[in-house]
Amino acid sequence: MRCVDVDLHKQSLSLCVVELAGRERNILERLRFRCDEEEQLAEYFAGRGELPQSCRRS
């Protein structure tokens, strides 16, 4: 299963795409966006599709 971890800062947003396989976690992709790059961020997530419920945190 793939999950996207998000780390939000004042001026930037870091993303890490992780593949979960049992107890192993493999990092597939790391990205950084400026917080004012809304279009690029929206395009990135639009290409990801729906995340499984188990990856979502409140």
Tens of pLDDT, residues 5-40: 889 999 999 999 888 888 888 999 999 999 999 898
Q: Is 52 left (phi over 0), alpha (psi -120 to 50) or beta?
A: beta
- Tell whether 44 is covered by a domain: yes
CA separation for the pair 56, 58 (Å, rounded): 7
Q: Has residue 56 been placed in a domain?
A: no
What is the pTM for the complete model shown?
A: 0.66
Does residue 29 belong to any structural domain of this protein? yes
Which residue range forms the structural domain that includes residue 20? 2-49
Q: Look at residue 50 and tell me whether its pLDDT is greater than 70.
A: no
User: What pLDDT shows up at residue 23?
Assistant: 87
Within-domain flag for 16: yes
